[in-house]
Structure 1
Amino acid sequence: MPSATTTRDPAPPACVLDRQGLDALVQALRARGRTVIGPTHRGGAIVLEELRSAAELPYGWGVELDGGHYRVVRREDEAAFAHSAGPQSWKNYLLPERVRQWTADRAPDGELTVRQERHPPASYAFLGVRPCDLRAIAIQDRVLLGGWHRDDAYQARRNGAFLIAVECTEPGATCFCVSMGTGPAAGPGYDIALTEVLDETGHRFLARAGTAEGAEVLAGLPQRDADAATRTAAAEAVESAAGRMGRSMPPVDLHTLMASSLEAERWDEVASRCLTCGNCTMACPTCFCTTTEDITDLTGDHAERWSRWESCYDLDFSHLPGGPVRQSGRSRYRQWLTHKLGTWWDQFGSSGCVGCGRCIVWCPVAIDITEEAHALHQEQLARRAAGEGTP
């Protein structure tokens, strides 16, 4: 979904920006009144924060990833985007974790005043959106804007967002975007796409526009025409990344696999390890569930309603008058995985997983969504071989 102020005009030829040109891009977006959000090195992690210049990008920093393991490491070069998904995603800005909806105050005479919370329209520019996260934004658009119950607050934030995708050239050990068809090349939906190239001829970024506004912004930057060597180097870097994914899904129809594995024994094994903490849902860039909570002060004269993220691992998530529907950790993990890889298709016409690997990294007991999918597939094959499974 492009910015509301842009149209899908034919993109101009690619150009090349150097590091000064990248900083000029940040300054041009700030001059347009946009808050530029991008990756930076803070507190031992690559996090998303407001950038005042491209100098704040994590030049020379990479990450070491595994199940339940994340570490920032120093690189031998000065690459700015040679790191994979961090603890945050762009969901933190488009669908904030906690938002106040209204306040109510009772005067001494008993009169009640209710005020709806009004938030000024956001005007974000997201710099460094990975192809997997670009797809995640498109999925959230479908969920929150495409049905009967549109989220107007999300739409206001989303309409103002200018997306600068950065194609992946350094996949992490937990990445599996190729399996999900979401990377490492940038798909549609960006305003500008960059591919970082760092070789003996210099440090530069191949840039191309995806919208008219993107083309307009690029046209005002110091640049040079894209030469054949840079185009080739960029294409080869992305192609190489596709062959170096750290994880993969089984090469089967995951929707069908989930539907035919509801009684698999594997659910008991994973439930013995799962803490039902909900970290995977909090880190996931597509999980969208929210709930509301009402709070009041000690006097009872002031009350507020807040919207906050919710997790299907919470016992109260499926609470009915008779109690929680999914009381066991087994049933709650199964609900999350079968929805993410299976019934999401029935609801929204796509998978709910983009292969970013965050759920693997930020699981405190290193449960691996790809390992679980492979285990379910192997169990199904074993059952079929024994004449017990579905045809």
Structure 2
Amino acid sequence: MKRPRRHTAVAIVAATAFAAFIPWSAEAAQGPSLVESVTDTLLAERGPAVAAQRGVSALARHAVVESRRSTGDWSFGAATIPGDASDHAPDASLYVAHRVAGRWQVGVLGSETFVALTRQAPNSVVSAEEKGLFQQNRAAAGAAARSVDTGLALPVNASSNVGWGGGPHANDGQGSLYSSLDFGGSGTQVRAAAAGRIYRACVDANSTQTALILIVHANGYTTGYYHLNQRSGFPADGTSVDQGYELGTAGTNTVCGGSANGAHVHFTLRSGDRNNLAFESVIGKTIGGWTFHTNGSNYDGFATHGTSKVQDGGTLYNYGRYTGSGPYAGTVNSANGANVRSNTNSAASSVMYTAPNGRALAISCKTTGSTVNNSNVWYRLTDADYVAAGLISTTATIPNC
């Protein structure tokens, strides 16, 4: 039976529930407040597209503005257009603002103004690493939009199966720009689809819990993750994470309001240079080894991998960023499991995750590295990470990388 559609209806939220508190000062009185300035810029740049998606002529003058880091004249944080009472999800972004002569200049992620202002901002507000990433993200966005392969994995565990109950659909559940996919069920671990820096939206700035999450990637994409169960101990905004970093578990969290029909992650694809963080269609794009297609309406589509075809409501195997031959089946053969690493040097590489004994892995090729269990052979997995061959059993003939 096909799983129920996982809509992302969101109720309109009163401004008093989310508006950031900005202390009054004589300088602030010279012009609009930070919240007002960010709201106006966000609505000017994202509002028309969101209003068109929702079938209205204009949006209410309201946004969720959350300053994450600031000095007297600089502010950086999240800015979100909340959902409304219909089947509409929130539209989240980042902002940077600089106050000059009492007035705030604001840039929204994806715009040249945003990149320019982040370059000028003090490192205490926007780090040097973030400045470089935002510039890369915008510069690479055009090529990313034209490429079939996104360089992204599915937002779940590597080399595992996941149900997808919502085929390609618009972020708001209606319209023809199918930028979103729904994955998983109750308890599904949701993970970063690629390396990048993480930012939360629609959550109190001092909270350590997850909320609506954006990850900005150097390849021109920004990915969004919504409905996650709250997770404590979440790292600070701007933290660099690898592909596969655990973000939380699929749930029905509607921190920006509304409801979700069953636990899942609402996964969105966005581009960094068109219409200021515009949603990017997933149609014809390859994510996690699967290329996504539509049957002509929201939530109705299928995915293909080679000769395999899976209709929405089915199950997809996460091939990661894989684009090579194979994959070749392997199984962890170690009582303590096998550490999957970012490279083949076990003394100088991050452990992405530990695959337990008996876990099936998808292998793409072999190379050499540190000696483990008397073997210096390492397998490159389809998610572009590595595991020592001495910990893996396979009957396949694995080609060299």
Task: State the TM bucket, normalised to the shorter chain.
Answer: under 0.3
Larger Rg, first or second structure (1 or 2) = 1
Q: Please report the TM-score for the alignment, with normalisation by the length of structure 1.
A: 0.25
Q: Please report the TM-score for the alignment, with normalisation by the length of structure 2.
A: 0.25
- Normalized per residue, which structure has more strand? 2
